[in-house]
């Protein structure tokens, strides 16, 4: 059946496309004929809604069925001999992937069958995870349990690679993050390097199949992973300096990637998440009580961060800066780059002084925190300006969010003890209301200018 809405919309749009020169006038009718024919030959596409309903019902059915099977076996599991148990475990796994294949193979109602295929591969992966734990129970395997989660994540990743399973990749990312969280918090690994190594393998399917939201999710999980480390290292001021530098280097790497045709799409992700990490790294030292040199919350497992690590991180940033300057010689916005360099040099000097102070850093809290507050605000200004220059709305938004955060933090820090509680809340409320209105107005102005600029260039 024809999708009339689509054809009518196409009819309306085509004259505009002809005017813009994207489509030749004589081809207009050919396109409409072709679309009309393909719509005709397509199976009942108007049944998309009913497809979704059927698919949702199928999901619910599968969940109910799984629940029923689990409940049944939970009651009777112990009475089965090992061979029956293994038969059930392996059989259910094979049946799920078998059904996934059958739905994949069907040529009618492709979209629905694809979804069903994906649903059964998802179920197969869930069963695989359950099988790991049940087999461990049957054979009394009492090993390092995060390894089970890692195996599960790797299995999901292999389905993402081999059968292009989107849901497989999402499961793999979630499980990898869980694995890292278990290793970090349950087993006190100071920095769990296994995660970023595994994370690199998430990039290929995201880029190859253009799974942009999943790439966002993967980047978010990487940021969350770095946050696990912050929690362990938060009492080490020098670590926060290094964290900021790594975030900055990632941000610059993102900008470098945008200059390469192959990695152009990947660049903004590195830029945005790198900027978020860098701002977070610079935000934490703006709190005077965070300026300490201890070995972390879990004191005995945290290696101390010092001059060598800071120097390596500074060199990484410098290397990225030189690389970027070389790559974008002609297209470069020198104004923002020079400002950025200035802020970076001052930051490096401050970091050097802090390192020289060593454990005496706590005696100079006031001076250091004031300096970091000033530099943080300068950095925010730079991020917003840079976002405006490069027509990057996300950077502008990020700058405004951190700006609101620092204003709120300093207000609470400063006035919590000095003001009467009611005056504190009234003033705070006013600052929030008026401030939010003002910031939002400014943000919208910049967003409009960015759009205008983008339109102008087009």
Partner 1 sequence: MGLRISLVVFLLTLTLFGIIGIKQWTLHHGKPITLQVDNSDLIPLFTGEVVRIRYNINAIPLDKLAEEDVELNTHEIVYVVLKKGITYWEPEKVYLKKPNIEPDEIVLKGEITNRNFDSDMLYLKYGIENYSISANESKKLEKPGTEDKIGVQVVVDRFGNAAIRAVLVNDQERYVEKLF
Residue 293 has φ and ψ, to the nearest 5°, of -125, 80
In whole angstroms, the minimum distance from the beta carbon of 86 to partner 1 comes to 8
Crossing angle of helices 110-138 and 166-181, in 10° steps, is 30
Alpha-carbon span 319 to 246, nearest angstrom? 12
In whole angstroms, the minimum distance from the beta carbon of 149 to partner 1 comes to 13
Which of 93-101, 170-178, 192-200, 374-382 is the region at the interface with partner 1 (rule: CB under 8 A)?
Answer: 93-101
Alpha-carbon span 369 to 42, nearest angstrom? 65
- The reply to whether 105 sits near partner 1 by the rule CB under 8 A is yes
Residue 447 burial class via C-beta count within 10 angstroms: exposed 0-12, middle 13-18, buried 19 and up = middle
Alpha-carbon span 27 to 428, nearest angstrom? 63
In whole angstroms, the minimum distance from the beta carbon of 159 to partner 1 comes to 5
User: Which of 6, 90, 289, 438 is in the footprint of partner 1 by CB under 8 A?
Assistant: 90
Nearer to partner 1, 202 or 237 (CB): 202
Q: At CB < 8 A and 24+ separation, what contacts does 9-14 make? A: 10/35
In whole angstroms, the minimum distance from the beta carbon of 158 to partner 1 comes to 5
Whose tokens are 């979630």? That residue is 174
Nearer to partner 1, 125 or 246 (CB): 125
Task: Using the CB atoms, write b or e for 59-79: b if 16+ within 10 Å.
Answer: eeebeeebeeeeeeeeeeeee
User: Which of 26, 40, 75, 79 is in the footprint of partner 1 by CB under 8 A?
Assistant: 79
Crossing angle of helices 166-181 and 146-163, in 10° steps, is 160
User: Which of 62, 89, 280, 375 is in the footprint of partner 1 by CB under 8 A?
Assistant: 89
- The reply to whether 297 sits near partner 1 by the rule CB under 8 A is no
Nearer to partner 1, 131 or 177 (CB): 131
What string marks each residue from 127 to 166 as x (binds partner 1 by CB under 8 A) or -?
Answer: -x--xx--xx--xxxxxx------x---x--xx--xx---
In whole angstroms, the minimum distance from the beta carbon of 219 to partner 1 comes to 26
- The reply to whether 258 sits near partner 1 by the rule CB under 8 A is no
Alpha-carbon span 386 to 156, nearest angstrom? 39
- Do the Cβ atoms of 101 and 117 come closer than 8 Å? yes
Nearer to partner 1, 86 or 394 (CB): 86
Sign of the C-alpha dihedral, residues 9, 12, 14, 16?
negative
Q: Determine the length of the chain.
A: 458
User: Which of 34, 101, 289, 425 is in the footprint of partner 1 by CB under 8 A?
Assistant: 101
350: its two tokens? 């401050």
- The reply to whether 329 sits near partner 1 by the rule CB under 8 A is no
Near partner 1 in 187-216, by CB under 8 A: 187-188
Residue 28: count other Cβ atoms within 10 Å of its Cβ.
16
Alpha-carbon span 230 to 281, nearest angstrom? 9
Size of the site for partner 1 (CB under 8 A): 40
Q: What is the DSSP string of 73-108?
A: HHHHGGGS-HHHHHHHHHHHHHHHHHHHHHHHH--S
Nearer to partner 1, 11 or 144 (CB): 144
- The reply to whether 81 sits near partner 1 by the rule CB under 8 A is yes
Which of 185-193, 255-263, 361-369, 376-384 is the region at the interface with partner 1 (rule: CB under 8 A)?
Answer: 185-193
Binding site for partner 1 (CB under 8 A): 78-83, 86, 89-90, 93-94, 97, 100-101, 104-105, 121, 124, 128, 131-132, 135-136, 139-144, 151, 155, 158-159, 162-163, 186-188, 300-301
């Amino acid at each position: 059946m024809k999708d009339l809405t689509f054809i009518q919309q196409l009819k309306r749009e085509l004259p505009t496309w002809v005017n813009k020169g994207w489509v030749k006038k004589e081809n207009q009718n050919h396109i409409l004929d072709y679309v009309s024919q393909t719509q005709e030959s397509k199976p009942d596409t108007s049944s998309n809604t009913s497809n979704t309903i059927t698919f949702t019902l199928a999901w619910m059915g599968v969940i109910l069925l799984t629940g029923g099977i689990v409940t049944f076996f939970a009651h009777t599991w112990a009475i089965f001999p090992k061979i029956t148990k293994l038969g059930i475990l392996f059989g259910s796994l094979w049946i799920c992937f078998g059904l996934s294949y059958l739905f994949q193979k069907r040529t009618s109602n492709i979209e629905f069958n694809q979804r069903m295929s994906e649903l059964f591969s998802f179920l197969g992966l869930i069963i695989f995870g359950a099988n790991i734990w049940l087999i461990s129970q049957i054979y009394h395997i009492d090993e390092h349990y995060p390894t089970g989660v890692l195996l599960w994540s790797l299995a999901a990743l292999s389905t993402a690679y081999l059968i292009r399973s989107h849901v497989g990749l999402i499961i793999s990312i979630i499980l990898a993050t869980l694995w890292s969280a278990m290793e970090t918090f349950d087993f006190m690994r100071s920095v769990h390097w296994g995660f970023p190594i595994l994370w690199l393998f998430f990039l290929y399917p995201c880029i190859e199949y253009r799974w942009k939201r999943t790439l966002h999710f993967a980047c978010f999980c990487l940021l969350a992973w770095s946050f696990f480390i912050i929690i362990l290292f938060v009492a080490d001021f020098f670590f926060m300096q290094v964290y900021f530098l790594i975030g900055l280097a990632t941000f610059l790497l993102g900008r470098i990637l945008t200059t390469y045709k192959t990695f152009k799409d990947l660049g903004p992700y590195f830029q945005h998440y790198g900027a978020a990490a860098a701002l977070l790294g610079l935000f934490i030292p703006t709190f005077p009580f965070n300026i300490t040199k201890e070995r972390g919350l879990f004191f005995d497992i945290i290696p101390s961060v010092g001059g060598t690590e800071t120097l390596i991180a500074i060199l990484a940033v410098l290397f990225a800066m030189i690389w970027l300057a070389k790559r974008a010689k002609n297209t470069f916005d020198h104004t923002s780059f020079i400002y950025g360099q200035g802020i970076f040099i001052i930051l490096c000097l401050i970091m050097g002084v802090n390192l020289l102070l060593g454990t005496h850093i706590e005696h100079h809290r006031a001076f250091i925190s004031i300096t970091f507050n000033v530099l943080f605000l300068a950095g925010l200004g730079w991020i917003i300006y840079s976002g405006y220059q490069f027509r990057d709305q996300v950077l502008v938004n990020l700058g405004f969010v951190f700006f609101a955060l620092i204003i709120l933090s300093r207000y609470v820090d400063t006035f919590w003890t000095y003001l009467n509680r009611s005056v504190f809340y009234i003033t705070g409320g006013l600052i929030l209301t008026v401030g939010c209105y003002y910031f939002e107005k400014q943000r919208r102005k910049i967003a409009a200018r960015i759009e205008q600029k983008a339109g102008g260039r087009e």
